[in-house]
Amino acid sequence: MKTKMINMNPSQLLILVFTIFIIIGTIFLKLPWATTTSISWWDALFTATSAMTVTGLAVVDTETAYTLFGEIVIVSLIQLGGLGIMSFAVLIFMVLGKKIGFRERILVQQSMNQTSLGGVVQLVRNLFFFSLVIEFIAMVLLSLRWVPELGWSKGIYYSFFHSISAFNNAGFALWSDGLSRYVGDPIINIVITLLFIIGGLGFTVLADLKSKNTFRKLSLHSKIMIVGTFSINIVAMLLIFILEYGNPNTLGSLSFVDKWWASYFQAVTTRTAGFNSLDIGSLSDPTIHFMILLMFVGAGSASTGGGIKLTTFIVIVLAVVTYLKGKKEIVVARRTVSETIIFRSLAITMISLTLIFLAIFVLTITEEAAFLPIVFEVVSAFGTVGLSMGLTGTLSVIGKLVIIIVMFAGKLGPLTFAFSLARQEKSKIRYPQEDVLTG
């Protein structure tokens, strides 16, 4: 067994470790004292996968189906999945004074989507310190709002649970209607959204911001992520405000100020956070279509979010613009993007679209549901978003299995799965070049 594990490549080992923890989580959630009523093994597996992949889709109501023990299991899986199992392993190694070997560094590099091994251990150390500090501050701020309303013990616990869920972009809430009851609450809106925006930027960007004192000195990746995140959030907020303004089931019944709060919250949560302050099933079709695009794009690389990643999307867009301009190189902020990054972005996008297409195809056969809710559910699972138009609770066994696979692939990344299956070979032979007609 040990020999087989040694022969595994990092992608395969990462998948194995994630699978083991999901199985452990499933067993814990199936224990009699984890639930208020008996749930099936499929429901336990679905919930464990959703928590471990920080998605937030739920086949049973988290508020009523699970006991305090079950909720602690869920939030523990969220923290493990969000910050990364291999990161926890490295932290334990450091606490025990063990040496972090080359293989461990490769695994952390793979799990955190880093391009090099340099500074990986330092990044993990900073990641844990920063994450715990942010989650603690958020818990205190949320307690100021929820302790007076819910009491000391429940208020602090709810603040603890939602700060971890939000920072890790999980989307699990302890209310059946998500955060809809706080649609116009400034404290809840600001604290929760800041948590998943910070978590969605990616730990590489956060570390870069900590070490650099000016925007000009930031890496190209950090610049793209910051500008891209700000731009796409503003555009999304304005579009949702315009599209839903007259919808009586969403923004229509709210005050003018609350309309802006709801538009802002729903715009940024779609980037893999999964919380909702509006009824997703009541949104208009144009808004749903736009949100599907946002969920597909997702958050940043090395973040707690999913999707193809914002930088991947931007590289693809820039590649198209560069081609249309008749140029041969993508230049951003006086830096040239390498062909390797462009090919990687194309591979990620194509593999992701293929996975999503196959999942939608299967669900159109197995589920008695309209096409748009199915597409929304699959893309939400892939982007580890956790938003749903109401399909999750009605999924068949095959439907649950499909969504489980999509959530798993969305969290670990399509390339991780591709590398785990493909046998990479480097050839020194070069063949004559010949054109192929396209377009």
- Band (3; pLDDT cuts 50, 70, 90): very low
Q: Average pLDDT, stretch 139-152?
A: 95
pLDDT at 148 over 80: yes
Q: Confirm if 83 and 304 have CB atoms less than 8 A apart.
A: yes
pLDDT number for residue 5: 47
Residue matched to tokens 């032979």 = 429
CA distance 221 to 223: 6
pLDDT number for residue 171: 85
CA distance 115 to 102: 15
pLDDT at 85 over 60: no
What's the chain's Rg over C-alpha atoms? 22
pLDDT at 238 over 70: yes
Helix segments in 255-370, DSSP class H: 256-269, 285-297, 310-324, 339-366
At 337, is the secondary structure helix, strand, or coil? strand
pLDDT at 191 over 50: yes
- Band (247; pLDDT cuts 50, 70, 90): very high
- Spatial CA neighbour of 414 closest among 360, 357, 354, 361: 354
- Band (117; pLDDT cuts 50, 70, 90): very low
Q: Confirm if 364 and 371 have CB atoms less than 8 A apart.
A: yes
Contacts 24+ apart (CB under 8 A), 92-100: 94/121, 94/125
Q: Confirm if 384 and 407 have CB atoms less than 8 A apart.
A: yes
- Band (81; pLDDT cuts 50, 70, 90): confident
- The neighbouring-strand residues paired with 336 are 331
Q: Average pLDDT, stretch 49-69?
A: 92
Tell me the pLDDT tens digit for each residue of 286-329.
Answer: 999 999 999 999 887 767 678 888 889 999 999 999 989 988 88
- The neighbouring-strand residues paired with 332 are 335
Mean confidence (pLDDT) of the chain: 84
Least confident of 16-25, 61-70, 199-208, 286-295: 199-208
Give Cα 266 distance to the centre of its chain.
Answer: 15
- Band (145; pLDDT cuts 50, 70, 90): very high
pLDDT at 6 over 80: no
Helix (H) or strand (E) holding 132: helix 120-150
Give the number of C-alpha atoms closer than 13 A to the C-alpha of residue 379, restricted to the C-beta side.
23
- The neighbouring-strand residues paired with 330 are 337
pLDDT number for residue 212: 81
- Band (239; pLDDT cuts 50, 70, 90): very high
Q: Average pLDDT, stretch 177-194?
A: 91
Tell me the pLDDT tens digit for each residue of 329-354.
Answer: 888 888 888 888 888 889 889 999 99
pLDDT number for residue 422: 55
pLDDT number for residue 290: 95
DSSP letter at 328?
S
CA distance 380 to 403: 9
Q: Average pLDDT, stretch 78-85?
A: 78
Tell me the pLDDT tens digit for each residue of 209-233.
Answer: 877 878 888 888 888 889 999 999 9
Residue matched to tokens 């209607």 = 177
CA distance 428 to 439: 31
For helices 102-111 and 120-150, the axis angle rounded to 10 degrees is: 50
- Band (90; pLDDT cuts 50, 70, 90): low
pLDDT number for residue 301: 74
- Band (102; pLDDT cuts 50, 70, 90): very low
pLDDT at 406 over 50: yes
Q: Calculate what percentage of the chain has a pLDDT beyond 90.
A: 50
pLDDT at 2 over 50: no
Q: Confirm if 50 and 57 have CB atoms less than 8 A apart.
A: yes
Q: How many CB atoms lie within 10 A of CB 119?
A: 13
